[in-house]
Amino acid sequence: MIQERLNILRKKGINLISSLSSTVQYRSTEIISIIAAVTIWQIIAVYIVQNKFFLPSFTDVLSALIRIIERDARLAVMGLELQLPVLFVDLLYSLLHFSIGLLSALLIGIPLGMAMGWFRSINRIVDPIIEVIRPIPPIAWIPFAIIWIGLNPFAAGFLIFVGAVFPIIINTYTGFKSVSRVYVEAAKVLGCNTNKELIRYVALPSSLPSIAAGIRIAMGVGWMCLVAAEMFGVSRNGLGYKIWHHYYLHNMDLVLLYMLLLGFLGLCIDRLLRYYVDGKLLKWRKGEVI
Amino acid sequence: MGKVTVKNLSRWFAKDKNEPTFALEDINLEIDDKEFVCFVGPSGCGKTTLLRIISGLDMPNKGEVHLDGQKIVGPGPDRGMVFQEYSLFPWKTVIENVIFGPLMGGVKKKDAVAEAEKYIELVGLNKFRSSYPYELSGGMKQRVAIARALANEPSVLLMDEPFGALDAQTRNILQQELLEIWKKKHITIAFVTHSVDEAVFLADKIVLMSARPGKIKEIIKLDLPRPRERTSHEANILRDRILKTLIKEQTKE
Protein backbone atom coordinates (compact mmCIF):
# COMPACT_ATOMS: atom_id res chain seq x y z
CA MET A 1 0.00 0.00 0.00
CA ILE A 2 2.57 2.51 1.15
CA GLN A 3 4.81 1.58 -1.75
CA GLU A 4 1.96 2.20 -4.15
CA ARG A 5 1.20 5.58 -2.61
CA LEU A 6 4.84 6.55 -2.83
CA ASN A 7 4.91 5.56 -6.47
CA ILE A 8 1.88 7.69 -7.20
CA LEU A 9 3.44 10.60 -5.36
CA ARG A 10 6.68 10.17 -7.23
CA LYS A 11 4.82 10.10 -10.54
CA LYS A 12 2.97 13.27 -9.58
CA GLY A 13 6.26 14.91 -8.69
CA ILE A 14 7.81 13.97 -11.99
CA ASN A 15 4.74 15.22 -13.82
CA LEU A 16 4.94 18.52 -11.95
CA ILE A 17 8.60 18.99 -12.79
CA SER A 18 8.16 18.07 -16.43
CA SER A 19 5.14 20.36 -16.80
CA LEU A 20 7.08 23.13 -15.09
CA SER A 21 10.02 22.73 -17.43
CA SER A 22 7.71 22.66 -20.43
CA THR A 23 6.09 25.92 -19.26
CA VAL A 24 9.55 27.43 -18.97
CA GLN A 25 10.28 26.36 -22.54
CA TYR A 26 6.93 27.55 -23.79
CA ARG A 27 7.21 30.90 -22.03
CA SER A 28 10.92 31.42 -22.73
CA THR A 29 10.48 34.75 -24.52
CA GLU A 30 8.40 36.17 -21.68
CA ILE A 31 10.85 34.97 -19.04
CA ILE A 32 13.85 36.38 -20.88
CA SER A 33 12.01 39.70 -21.26
CA ILE A 34 11.45 39.96 -17.47
CA ILE A 35 15.04 38.96 -16.67
CA ALA A 36 16.36 41.53 -19.14
CA ALA A 37 14.22 44.30 -17.65
CA VAL A 38 15.41 43.49 -14.12
CA THR A 39 19.06 43.40 -15.28
CA ILE A 40 18.78 46.77 -17.00
CA TRP A 41 17.14 48.22 -13.87
CA GLN A 42 19.94 46.86 -11.71
CA ILE A 43 22.68 48.26 -14.00
CA ILE A 44 21.07 51.70 -14.19
CA ALA A 45 20.60 51.86 -10.41
CA VAL A 46 24.07 50.68 -9.47
CA TYR A 47 26.29 52.22 -12.16
CA ILE A 48 24.42 55.24 -13.51
CA VAL A 49 22.19 56.65 -10.77
CA GLN A 50 24.36 55.46 -7.87
CA ASN A 51 21.87 56.82 -5.33
CA LYS A 52 19.73 54.44 -3.25
CA PHE A 53 17.35 57.21 -2.30
CA PHE A 54 16.76 58.27 -5.89
CA LEU A 55 16.46 54.79 -7.40
CA PRO A 56 16.84 51.65 -5.27
CA SER A 57 18.24 48.74 -7.24
CA PHE A 58 16.66 45.32 -7.63
CA THR A 59 18.91 43.85 -4.96
CA ASP A 60 18.07 46.73 -2.60
CA VAL A 61 14.39 45.91 -2.98
CA LEU A 62 15.14 42.21 -2.53
CA SER A 63 17.02 42.82 0.72
CA ALA A 64 14.20 45.14 1.86
CA LEU A 65 11.82 42.25 1.26
CA ILE A 66 13.95 39.88 3.32
CA ARG A 67 14.20 42.48 6.09
CA ILE A 68 10.48 43.12 6.25
CA ILE A 69 9.37 39.50 6.05
CA GLU A 70 10.80 38.95 9.51
CA ARG A 71 8.95 41.88 11.05
CA ASP A 72 5.69 41.18 12.86
CA ALA A 73 2.61 43.26 13.41
CA ARG A 74 -0.38 42.94 15.69
CA LEU A 75 -3.73 42.13 14.24
CA ALA A 76 -6.80 42.44 16.45
CA VAL A 77 -9.77 40.43 15.24
CA MET A 78 -12.85 39.98 17.40
CA GLY A 79 -10.98 40.40 20.68
CA LEU A 80 -8.12 38.19 19.56
CA GLU A 81 -4.65 39.70 19.37
CA LEU A 82 -2.63 37.93 16.71
CA GLN A 83 1.06 38.28 16.00
CA LEU A 84 1.53 38.03 12.23
CA PRO A 85 4.13 39.08 9.64
CA VAL A 86 3.63 42.74 8.81
CA LEU A 87 3.37 42.11 5.07
CA PHE A 88 0.53 39.69 5.69
CA VAL A 89 -1.32 42.17 7.89
CA ASP A 90 -0.90 44.90 5.26
CA LEU A 91 -2.24 42.54 2.64
CA LEU A 92 -5.25 41.61 4.77
CA TYR A 93 -6.13 45.26 5.39
CA SER A 94 -5.83 46.12 1.71
CA LEU A 95 -7.97 43.15 0.71
CA LEU A 96 -10.53 44.21 3.33
CA HIS A 97 -10.76 47.74 1.91
CA PHE A 98 -10.83 46.40 -1.62
CA SER A 99 -13.54 43.83 -1.01
CA ILE A 100 -15.79 46.29 0.87
CA GLY A 101 -15.59 48.61 -2.13
CA LEU A 102 -15.91 45.99 -4.83
CA LEU A 103 -18.74 44.03 -3.19
CA SER A 104 -20.84 47.14 -2.66
CA ALA A 105 -20.11 48.21 -6.24
CA LEU A 106 -21.33 44.81 -7.47
CA LEU A 107 -24.42 44.82 -5.24
CA ILE A 108 -25.46 48.28 -6.40
CA GLY A 109 -23.99 48.44 -9.92
CA ILE A 110 -25.33 45.21 -11.40
CA PRO A 111 -29.01 45.61 -10.38
CA LEU A 112 -28.94 49.28 -11.36
CA GLY A 113 -27.38 48.55 -14.74
CA MET A 114 -29.90 45.76 -15.32
CA ALA A 115 -32.86 48.01 -14.52
CA MET A 116 -31.46 50.77 -16.74
CA GLY A 117 -30.86 48.41 -19.62
CA TRP A 118 -34.26 46.72 -19.46
CA PHE A 119 -36.62 49.58 -18.57
CA ARG A 120 -36.32 52.67 -20.73
CA SER A 121 -37.98 54.95 -18.18
CA ILE A 122 -35.52 54.01 -15.41
CA ASN A 123 -32.65 54.72 -17.77
CA ARG A 124 -34.05 58.17 -18.53
CA ILE A 125 -34.37 58.94 -14.82
CA VAL A 126 -31.00 57.60 -13.66
CA ASP A 127 -28.73 58.25 -16.64
CA PRO A 128 -28.43 62.07 -16.33
CA ILE A 129 -27.51 61.76 -12.63
CA ILE A 130 -24.88 59.15 -13.39
CA GLU A 131 -23.44 61.17 -16.25
CA VAL A 132 -22.95 64.15 -13.92
CA ILE A 133 -21.40 62.20 -11.03
CA ARG A 134 -19.24 59.85 -13.10
CA PRO A 135 -16.54 62.32 -14.24
CA ILE A 136 -15.74 63.30 -10.61
CA PRO A 137 -12.41 61.58 -9.82
CA PRO A 138 -12.75 59.14 -6.90
CA ILE A 139 -9.99 60.98 -5.01
CA ALA A 140 -12.14 64.11 -4.92
CA TRP A 141 -14.55 62.22 -2.65
CA ILE A 142 -11.97 61.89 0.15
CA PRO A 143 -13.18 64.88 2.26
CA PHE A 144 -16.77 63.69 2.25
CA ALA A 145 -15.74 60.09 2.80
CA ILE A 146 -14.03 61.20 6.02
CA ILE A 147 -16.92 63.42 7.16
CA TRP A 148 -19.67 60.93 6.32
CA ILE A 149 -18.03 57.69 7.30
CA GLY A 150 -15.07 58.62 9.49
CA LEU A 151 -11.55 57.24 9.59
CA ASN A 152 -12.33 53.54 9.27
CA PRO A 153 -12.04 50.82 6.60
CA PHE A 154 -15.48 51.68 5.26
CA ALA A 155 -14.28 55.13 4.18
CA ALA A 156 -11.55 53.47 2.11
CA GLY A 157 -14.14 51.01 0.82
CA PHE A 158 -16.33 53.92 -0.21
CA LEU A 159 -13.57 55.42 -2.33
CA ILE A 160 -12.94 52.12 -4.07
CA PHE A 161 -16.69 51.78 -4.55
CA VAL A 162 -16.83 55.15 -6.32
CA GLY A 163 -14.09 54.03 -8.67
CA ALA A 164 -15.52 50.57 -9.33
CA VAL A 165 -19.26 51.13 -9.57
CA PHE A 166 -19.43 53.07 -12.84
CA PRO A 167 -17.69 50.53 -15.10
CA ILE A 168 -20.00 47.88 -13.64
CA ILE A 169 -23.16 49.94 -14.22
CA ILE A 170 -22.16 50.89 -17.75
CA ASN A 171 -21.14 47.42 -18.84
CA THR A 172 -24.23 45.78 -17.34
CA TYR A 173 -26.36 48.40 -19.04
CA THR A 174 -24.64 47.85 -22.39
CA GLY A 175 -24.99 44.09 -22.03
CA PHE A 176 -28.70 44.37 -21.39
CA LYS A 177 -29.17 46.86 -24.23
CA SER A 178 -27.54 44.56 -26.73
CA VAL A 179 -29.44 41.37 -25.91
CA SER A 180 -30.27 39.96 -29.33
CA ARG A 181 -33.96 40.34 -30.17
CA VAL A 182 -34.16 36.84 -31.56
CA TYR A 183 -33.29 35.31 -28.13
CA VAL A 184 -36.00 37.34 -26.41
CA GLU A 185 -38.54 36.36 -29.06
CA ALA A 186 -37.52 32.71 -28.99
CA ALA A 187 -37.98 32.74 -25.20
CA LYS A 188 -41.37 34.40 -25.50
CA VAL A 189 -42.58 31.82 -27.99
CA LEU A 190 -41.38 29.07 -25.64
CA GLY A 191 -43.52 30.44 -22.81
CA CYS A 192 -41.09 32.75 -21.01
CA ASN A 193 -43.13 35.93 -20.90
CA THR A 194 -42.84 38.10 -17.80
CA ASN A 195 -40.11 40.71 -17.40
CA LYS A 196 -38.77 38.83 -14.41
CA GLU A 197 -38.43 35.56 -16.35
CA LEU A 198 -36.97 37.24 -19.43
CA ILE A 199 -34.35 39.04 -17.33
CA ARG A 200 -33.50 35.93 -15.33
CA TYR A 201 -33.33 33.43 -18.16
CA VAL A 202 -32.39 35.46 -21.24
CA ALA A 203 -31.02 38.96 -20.61
CA LEU A 204 -28.76 38.10 -17.68
CA PRO A 205 -26.97 35.06 -19.16
CA SER A 206 -26.71 36.74 -22.54
CA SER A 207 -25.05 39.84 -21.08
CA LEU A 208 -22.74 37.93 -18.77
CA PRO A 209 -19.68 38.45 -21.02
CA SER A 210 -20.22 42.20 -20.93
CA ILE A 211 -20.82 42.21 -17.16
CA ALA A 212 -17.67 40.15 -16.59
CA ALA A 213 -15.66 42.61 -18.68
CA GLY A 214 -17.10 45.43 -16.58
CA ILE A 215 -16.09 43.70 -13.35
CA ARG A 216 -12.58 43.28 -14.69
CA ILE A 217 -12.30 46.98 -15.49
CA ALA A 218 -13.86 47.83 -12.12
CA MET A 219 -11.34 45.68 -10.28
CA GLY A 220 -8.50 47.46 -12.07
CA VAL A 221 -9.86 50.91 -11.26
CA GLY A 222 -10.66 49.90 -7.66
CA TRP A 223 -7.15 48.57 -7.13
CA MET A 224 -5.74 51.84 -8.42
CA CYS A 225 -7.91 53.76 -5.93
CA LEU A 226 -6.51 51.67 -3.10
CA VAL A 227 -3.37 53.78 -2.57
CA ALA A 228 -5.39 56.99 -2.44
CA ALA A 229 -7.99 55.38 -0.19
CA GLU A 230 -5.40 54.32 2.37
CA MET A 231 -3.47 57.59 2.13
CA PHE A 232 -5.65 59.59 4.52
CA GLY A 233 -5.20 57.40 7.55
CA VAL A 234 -8.14 55.00 7.67
CA SER A 235 -5.89 52.38 9.29
CA ARG A 236 -2.31 51.81 10.42
CA ASN A 237 -1.84 49.01 7.88
CA GLY A 238 -2.40 48.41 4.20
CA LEU A 239 -0.22 48.19 1.11
CA GLY A 240 -1.18 51.68 -0.05
CA TYR A 241 -0.80 53.19 3.42
CA LYS A 242 2.69 51.75 3.77
CA ILE A 243 3.86 53.49 0.60
CA TRP A 244 3.23 56.87 2.25
CA HIS A 245 4.45 55.71 5.62
CA HIS A 246 7.81 54.63 4.25
CA TYR A 247 8.05 57.69 2.03
CA TYR A 248 7.89 59.86 5.15
CA LEU A 249 10.63 57.69 6.69
CA HIS A 250 12.69 58.00 3.49
CA ASN A 251 12.77 54.20 3.05
CA MET A 252 12.57 54.35 -0.71
CA ASP A 253 13.51 50.70 -1.13
CA LEU A 254 10.40 49.77 0.88
CA VAL A 255 8.28 52.22 -1.12
CA LEU A 256 9.35 50.48 -4.29
CA LEU A 257 8.78 47.07 -2.71
CA TYR A 258 5.19 47.95 -1.78
CA MET A 259 4.63 49.38 -5.25
CA LEU A 260 5.76 46.13 -6.82
CA LEU A 261 3.60 44.14 -4.41
CA LEU A 262 0.56 46.22 -5.40
CA GLY A 263 1.23 45.55 -9.06
CA PHE A 264 1.84 41.87 -8.53
CA LEU A 265 -1.28 41.37 -6.44
CA GLY A 266 -3.42 43.30 -8.90
CA LEU A 267 -2.16 40.97 -11.61
CA CYS A 268 -2.99 37.90 -9.49
CA ILE A 269 -6.52 39.10 -8.77
CA ASP A 270 -7.12 39.81 -12.45
CA ARG A 271 -5.81 36.39 -13.48
CA LEU A 272 -7.95 34.66 -10.86
CA LEU A 273 -11.07 36.37 -12.14
CA ARG A 274 -10.23 35.62 -15.76
CA TYR A 275 -9.58 32.00 -14.95
CA TYR A 276 -12.91 31.69 -13.17
CA VAL A 277 -14.93 33.64 -15.73
CA ASP A 278 -13.48 32.08 -18.88
CA GLY A 279 -13.25 28.58 -17.47
CA LYS A 280 -16.55 28.32 -15.63
CA LEU A 281 -19.00 31.10 -16.43
CA LEU A 282 -18.31 31.67 -20.10
CA LYS A 283 -17.25 28.29 -21.40
CA TRP A 284 -20.08 28.56 -23.95
CA ARG A 285 -18.08 31.29 -25.66
CA LYS A 286 -14.99 29.20 -26.27
CA GLY A 287 -13.75 29.52 -29.80
CA GLU A 288 -14.99 33.07 -30.12
CA VAL A 289 -12.45 35.78 -30.75
CA ILE A 290 -12.62 38.24 -27.90
CA MET B 1 -56.01 20.07 -33.04
CA GLY B 2 -54.31 22.89 -34.92
CA LYS B 3 -56.71 24.81 -37.10
CA VAL B 4 -55.75 28.41 -37.77
CA THR B 5 -58.28 30.96 -39.01
CA VAL B 6 -57.20 34.41 -40.16
CA LYS B 7 -60.07 36.92 -40.50
CA ASN B 8 -59.94 40.34 -42.22
CA LEU B 9 -56.41 40.85 -40.99
CA SER B 10 -54.54 44.10 -41.68
CA ARG B 11 -51.22 45.32 -40.36
CA TRP B 12 -49.75 48.69 -41.18
CA PHE B 13 -46.76 50.65 -40.00
CA ALA B 14 -47.15 54.40 -39.52
CA LYS B 15 -44.05 56.57 -39.70
CA ASP B 16 -44.62 60.02 -38.21
CA LYS B 17 -47.42 61.69 -40.14
CA ASN B 18 -46.78 59.96 -43.45
CA GLU B 19 -49.30 57.66 -45.05
CA PRO B 20 -49.13 54.30 -43.29
CA THR B 21 -47.48 51.48 -45.24
CA PHE B 22 -49.56 48.35 -45.40
CA ALA B 23 -47.58 45.21 -44.65
CA LEU B 24 -50.75 43.14 -44.83
CA GLU B 25 -54.14 44.18 -46.14
CA ASP B 26 -57.35 42.30 -45.55
CA ILE B 27 -56.00 38.77 -45.29
CA ASN B 28 -58.48 35.91 -45.02
CA LEU B 29 -57.09 32.42 -44.71
CA GLU B 30 -57.78 29.01 -43.25
CA ILE B 31 -55.07 26.53 -42.34
CA ASP B 32 -56.52 23.10 -41.64
CA ASP B 33 -55.45 20.78 -38.89
CA LYS B 34 -52.30 18.76 -39.80
CA GLU B 35 -51.90 20.73 -43.01
CA PHE B 36 -48.51 21.80 -44.38
CA VAL B 37 -48.86 25.32 -45.72
CA CYS B 38 -46.11 27.27 -47.44
CA PHE B 39 -46.15 31.04 -47.84
CA VAL B 40 -44.32 32.23 -50.94
CA GLY B 41 -43.96 35.73 -52.31
CA PRO B 42 -41.58 38.53 -53.20
CA SER B 43 -39.68 40.17 -50.36
CA GLY B 44 -41.78 42.74 -48.55
CA CYS B 45 -45.04 40.87 -49.16
CA GLY B 46 -45.64 40.48 -45.44
CA LYS B 47 -45.26 36.71 -45.20
CA THR B 48 -42.99 36.95 -42.17
CA THR B 49 -45.29 39.54 -40.58
CA LEU B 50 -48.24 37.18 -41.02
CA LEU B 51 -46.31 34.37 -39.35
CA ARG B 52 -45.28 36.64 -36.48
CA ILE B 53 -48.89 37.66 -35.95
CA ILE B 54 -49.95 34.02 -35.77
CA SER B 55 -47.15 33.42 -33.25
CA GLY B 56 -48.36 36.36 -31.17
CA LEU B 57 -45.05 38.24 -31.37
CA ASP B 58 -46.72 40.93 -33.49
CA MET B 59 -50.26 42.30 -33.23
CA PRO B 60 -52.59 43.15 -36.12
CA ASN B 61 -54.11 46.62 -36.45
CA LYS B 62 -57.35 45.15 -37.71
CA GLY B 63 -58.87 41.68 -37.78
CA GLU B 64 -58.08 38.63 -35.70
CA VAL B 65 -56.41 35.24 -35.73
CA HIS B 66 -57.96 32.19 -34.08
CA LEU B 67 -56.38 28.88 -33.18
CA ASP B 68 -59.04 26.20 -32.76
CA GLY B 69 -61.63 28.94 -32.10
CA GLN B 70 -59.46 30.65 -29.50
CA LYS B 71 -58.38 34.22 -30.27
CA ILE B 72 -54.62 34.74 -30.28
CA VAL B 73 -53.55 37.60 -28.03
CA GLY B 74 -49.88 36.79 -27.43
CA PRO B 75 -47.16 34.17 -27.71
CA GLY B 76 -47.98 30.79 -26.26
CA PRO B 77 -46.59 27.27 -26.06
CA ASP B 78 -49.38 25.95 -28.35
CA ARG B 79 -47.50 27.57 -31.26
CA GLY B 80 -43.85 26.65 -31.71
CA MET B 81 -41.59 28.82 -33.85
CA VAL B 82 -38.34 28.28 -35.71
CA PHE B 83 -36.57 31.46 -36.77
CA GLN B 84 -34.43 32.18 -39.80
CA GLU B 85 -31.57 33.44 -37.62
CA TYR B 86 -29.92 30.98 -35.31
CA SER B 87 -31.97 31.43 -32.18
CA LEU B 88 -30.55 28.79 -29.84
CA PHE B 89 -29.44 30.24 -26.53
CA PRO B 90 -25.64 30.12 -26.89
CA TRP B 91 -25.15 29.84 -23.10
CA LYS B 92 -27.14 26.62 -22.93
CA THR B 93 -26.21 23.16 -24.18
CA VAL B 94 -28.38 21.35 -26.70
CA ILE B 95 -30.37 19.50 -24.05
CA GLU B 96 -30.73 22.63 -21.89
CA ASN B 97 -32.09 24.48 -24.91
CA VAL B 98 -34.65 21.76 -25.61
CA ILE B 99 -35.93 21.52 -22.03
CA PHE B 100 -36.25 25.31 -21.72
CA GLY B 101 -39.87 25.46 -22.92
CA PRO B 102 -41.17 22.56 -20.79
CA LEU B 103 -39.39 23.97 -17.70
CA MET B 104 -41.06 27.33 -18.30
CA GLY B 105 -44.36 25.48 -18.50
CA GLY B 106 -43.78 23.94 -15.06
CA VAL B 107 -42.65 20.44 -16.08
CA LYS B 108 -40.25 18.81 -13.60
CA LYS B 109 -36.64 18.81 -14.78
CA LYS B 110 -36.31 15.02 -14.73
CA ASP B 111 -39.40 14.51 -16.87
CA ALA B 112 -38.41 17.33 -19.19
CA VAL B 113 -34.97 15.79 -19.78
CA ALA B 114 -36.49 12.37 -20.52
CA GLU B 115 -38.91 13.95 -23.01
CA ALA B 116 -36.18 16.12 -24.55
CA GLU B 117 -33.96 13.08 -25.23
CA LYS B 118 -36.70 11.77 -27.54
CA TYR B 119 -36.86 14.98 -29.52
CA ILE B 120 -33.10 15.17 -29.81
CA GLU B 121 -33.16 11.61 -31.08
CA LEU B 122 -35.92 12.56 -33.51
CA VAL B 123 -33.62 15.13 -35.14
CA GLY B 124 -30.67 12.70 -34.92
CA LEU B 125 -28.39 14.62 -32.58
CA ASN B 126 -28.02 12.24 -29.58
CA LYS B 127 -24.26 12.55 -29.77
CA PHE B 128 -24.44 16.29 -29.37
CA ARG B 129 -26.84 16.52 -26.42
CA SER B 130 -24.23 18.18 -24.18
CA SER B 131 -22.62 20.38 -26.84
CA TYR B 132 -22.88 24.13 -26.91
CA PRO B 133 -24.36 25.79 -30.02
CA TYR B 134 -20.97 27.16 -31.10
CA GLU B 135 -19.86 23.56 -31.61
CA LEU B 136 -22.69 22.81 -34.07
CA SER B 137 -22.98 23.44 -37.79
CA GLY B 138 -25.76 25.61 -39.20
CA GLY B 139 -27.91 22.63 -40.14
CA MET B 140 -27.48 21.05 -36.70
CA LYS B 141 -28.45 24.33 -35.02
CA GLN B 142 -31.70 24.45 -36.96
CA ARG B 143 -32.37 20.79 -36.12
CA VAL B 144 -32.03 21.61 -32.43
CA ALA B 145 -34.27 24.65 -32.94
CA ILE B 146 -36.92 22.31 -34.39
CA ALA B 147 -36.53 19.90 -31.47
CA ARG B 148 -36.81 22.81 -29.02
CA ALA B 149 -40.00 24.04 -30.68
CA LEU B 150 -41.49 20.52 -30.69
CA ALA B 151 -40.66 19.89 -27.02
CA ASN B 152 -43.54 22.18 -26.02
CA GLU B 153 -45.85 19.88 -28.01
CA PRO B 154 -47.39 22.69 -30.03
CA SER B 155 -50.38 22.10 -32.29
CA VAL B 156 -48.91 24.46 -34.88
CA LEU B 157 -45.27 24.78 -35.88
CA LEU B 158 -44.40 28.14 -37.42
CA MET B 159 -41.25 28.25 -39.50
CA ASP B 160 -39.79 31.50 -40.84
CA GLU B 161 -37.37 30.61 -43.65
CA PRO B 162 -35.69 28.15 -41.29
CA PHE B 163 -33.38 26.72 -43.95
CA GLY B 164 -32.63 30.04 -45.67
CA ALA B 165 -29.08 30.30 -44.36
CA LEU B 166 -28.10 26.72 -45.17
CA ASP B 167 -26.31 25.33 -48.20
CA ALA B 168 -28.37 23.57 -50.87
CA GLN B 169 -27.50 19.96 -49.91
CA THR B 170 -28.12 20.47 -46.20
CA ARG B 171 -31.36 22.20 -47.05
CA ASN B 172 -32.60 19.23 -49.10
CA ILE B 173 -31.74 16.83 -46.28
CA LEU B 174 -33.50 18.96 -43.69
CA GLN B 175 -36.60 19.29 -45.88
CA GLN B 176 -36.77 15.51 -46.06
CA GLU B 177 -36.33 15.20 -42.29
CA LEU B 178 -38.96 17.84 -41.62
CA LEU B 179 -41.50 15.90 -43.68
CA GLU B 180 -40.77 12.77 -41.65
CA ILE B 181 -41.20 14.66 -38.39
CA TRP B 182 -44.44 16.16 -39.68
CA LYS B 183 -45.71 12.70 -40.56
CA LYS B 184 -44.77 11.31 -37.12
CA LYS B 185 -46.01 14.16 -34.94
CA HIS B 186 -49.26 14.96 -36.79
CA ILE B 187 -49.04 18.72 -36.43
CA THR B 188 -49.92 21.73 -38.54
CA ILE B 189 -46.95 23.47 -40.14
CA ALA B 190 -46.92 27.03 -41.52
CA PHE B 191 -43.70 27.55 -43.44
CA VAL B 192 -42.45 30.82 -44.93
CA THR B 193 -39.96 30.54 -47.77
CA HIS B 194 -38.71 32.48 -50.76
CA SER B 195 -37.85 29.25 -52.55
CA VAL B 196 -40.53 27.96 -54.89
CA ASP B 197 -38.62 24.70 -55.12
CA GLU B 198 -38.87 24.23 -51.37
CA ALA B 199 -42.60 25.05 -51.33
CA VAL B 200 -43.42 22.63 -54.14
CA PHE B 201 -41.49 19.85 -52.38
CA LEU B 202 -43.08 20.39 -48.96
CA ALA B 203 -46.54 21.89 -49.12
CA ASP B 204 -50.12 20.64 -49.16
CA LYS B 205 -51.12 24.18 -49.93
CA ILE B 206 -49.10 27.11 -51.23
CA VAL B 207 -50.22 30.64 -50.38
CA LEU B 208 -48.87 32.99 -53.04
CA MET B 209 -48.62 36.55 -51.83
CA SER B 210 -48.10 39.91 -53.54
CA ALA B 211 -46.29 42.93 -52.18
CA ARG B 212 -47.19 46.50 -51.21
CA PRO B 213 -49.77 46.03 -49.89
CA GLY B 214 -49.27 42.44 -48.80
CA LYS B 215 -52.19 40.46 -50.13
CA ILE B 216 -52.98 36.87 -50.94
CA LYS B 217 -52.64 36.53 -54.67
CA GLU B 218 -53.57 32.91 -55.05
CA ILE B 219 -53.96 29.75 -53.00
CA ILE B 220 -52.72 26.62 -54.75
CA LYS B 221 -53.67 23.16 -53.51
CA LEU B 222 -51.06 20.56 -54.33
CA ASP B 223 -52.17 17.00 -54.95
CA LEU B 224 -48.76 15.66 -55.93
CA PRO B 225 -48.29 12.23 -54.34
CA ARG B 226 -45.76 11.84 -51.51
CA PRO B 227 -42.89 11.02 -51.34
CA ARG B 228 -42.32 13.63 -53.99
CA GLU B 229 -39.72 13.68 -56.71
CA ARG B 230 -38.10 17.11 -56.92
CA THR B 231 -37.65 16.86 -60.69
CA SER B 232 -40.89 15.10 -61.65
CA HIS B 233 -42.87 16.45 -64.61
CA GLU B 234 -45.82 17.63 -62.48
CA ALA B 235 -43.53 19.39 -60.03
CA ASN B 236 -41.77 21.16 -62.90
CA ILE B 237 -45.00 22.36 -64.45
CA LEU B 238 -46.20 23.69 -61.09
CA ARG B 239 -42.90 25.36 -60.31
CA ASP B 240 -42.89 27.00 -63.72
CA ARG B 241 -46.38 28.35 -63.23
CA ILE B 242 -45.64 29.80 -59.78
CA LEU B 243 -42.37 31.36 -60.90
CA LYS B 244 -44.10 33.06 -63.85
CA THR B 245 -46.77 34.49 -61.54
CA LEU B 246 -44.05 35.77 -59.20
CA ILE B 247 -42.10 37.39 -62.04
CA LYS B 248 -45.27 39.10 -63.28
CA GLU B 249 -45.82 40.30 -59.72
CA GLN B 250 -42.32 41.73 -59.46
CA THR B 251 -42.23 43.48 -62.84
CA LYS B 252 -45.60 45.10 -62.08
CA GLU B 253 -43.93 47.70 -59.86
**Nearest chain A residue to B145, by CA:** A186
Alpha carbons B186 and B182: distance in angstroms, whole number: 6
| Cross-sheet strand order for the sheet of B4-13 | B21-31, B4-13, B62-67, B70-71
Residue B128's nearest CA partner among B146, B138, B109, B141 is B141
User: Inter-chain contact A190–B57, Cβ cutoff 8 Å?
Assistant: no
List phi, psi (to 5°) of A99.
-75, -30
Q: Which of B83, B104, B133 sits opposite A182 (nearest CB)?
A: B83
- Say yes or no for a CB contact (<8 Å) between A190 and B85: no
Q: What is the pLDDT of residue A283?
A: 81
Residue B87 and residue A182: Cβ atoms within 8 Å? yes
CB within 8 Å: B89 and A206:
yes
What is the mean predicted confidence (pLDDT) over A80-93?
88
CB within 8 Å: A190 and B92: no
Residue A168 CA: distances (Å) to CA of A97, A272, B157: 18, 18, 41
Contact B92 A284 (CB under 8 A): yes
| Amino acid, res. B107 | V
Q: How far is CA A72 from CA A239, A241, A255, B87, in A?
A: 15, 17, 18, 60
Angstrom distance (rounded) from CA B70 to CA B240: 38
- Report the 10 Å Cβ neighbour count for A28: 10
Dihedral of CA B85/B91/B96/B100: which sign? negative
User: Measured between CA atoms, how close is A204 to chain B, in angstroms?
Assistant: 11
Beta carbons of B89 and A208 less than 8 Å apart: no
**A143 upstream amide cis, omega within 30 of 0:** no
What pLDDT band is residue A14 in, cutting at 50, 70 and 90?
confident
Q: How many pairs of residues across A and B have Cβ atoms under 8 Å apart?
A: 72
Distance CA A127, CA B94 (A): 38
CB-based contact B86:B133 (threshold 8 Å):
yes
B80 touches chain A (CB under 8 A): yes
Q: Choose from A228-232, B145-149, B227-231 the range with maximum mean pLDDT.
A: B145-149
Residues 208-227 of A with CB under 8 A from B: 208
Read off the pLDDT band of A290 (50, 70, 90). Answer: very low
CA distance B65 to B57: 13
Contacts of A139 (CB under 8 A, 6+ apart): A159, A225, A228
Cis peptide before B227 (omega within 30 of 0): yes
Lowest mean pLDDT, pick from A206-210, B19-23, B55-59: B19-23
Is B83 in contact with A287 (Cβ distance < 8 A)?
A: no
- Model pTM? 0.85
Best of A181, A184, A190, A194 to disrupt the B interface by mutation (most B CBs within 10 Å)? A190
pLDDT of B157 over the 60 cut: yes
pLDDT in tens, B94-127: 999 999 999 999 999 999 999 999 999 999 999 9
- Quick one: which of A190, A278, A284 has its CA closest to B136? A284
SS3 A267: helix
Residue-level pLDDT at A287: 56
Contact B50, B27 (CB under 8 A): yes
Asked if A188 reaches chain B (Cβ–Cβ under 8 Å), the answer is yes
Cβ(A155)–Cβ(A138) under 8 Å? Answer: no
pLDDT tens digits along B231-244: 899 999 999 999 99
Res. B33: pLDDT tops 80:
yes
Q: Quickly count: other Cβ atoms within 10 Å of residue A124's Cβ.
A: 10
Element at A110 (helix H, strand E): helix A86-118
- CA B175/CA B168 separation, integer angstroms: 11
Q: Which of A80-84, B145-149, B156-160, B191-195 has the lowest mean pLDDT?
A: A80-84
Among B203, B184, B96, residue whose Cα is nearest residue B144 = B96
Instruction: Determine how many CB atoms are found less than 10 A away from the CB of residue B155.
Output: 19
Q: Is B89 on the interface with A (CB under 8 A)?
A: yes
* Least Cα separation, residue A283 to chain B (angstroms): 8
Set of chain A residues whose Cβ sits within 8 Å of the Cβ of B77: 190-191
- Amino acid type, B1: M
CATH 3.20.20.100 fits A66-285, yes or no: no
Judged by CB atoms within 8 Å, which residues 211-240 of B form the interface with A? none
Cβ distance of A190 and B87 shorter than 8 Å: no
Long-range contacts of the stretch B217-225 (C-beta < 8 A, 24+): B217/B41, B217/B245, B217/B249, B218/B245, B219/B29, B224/B200
Cβ <8 Å between A186 and B89: yes
Other CB atoms within a 10 A radius of the CB of residue A136 amount to 10
pLDDT of residue B189: 96
Q: A192-217: b or e for each residue (b if 16 or more CB lie within 10 Å)?
A: bbeeeebbebbbbbbbbbbbbbbbbe
Q: Does B130 touch chain A (CB under 8 A)?
A: no
Task: Report CB contact under 8 Å: B74, A186.
Answer: no
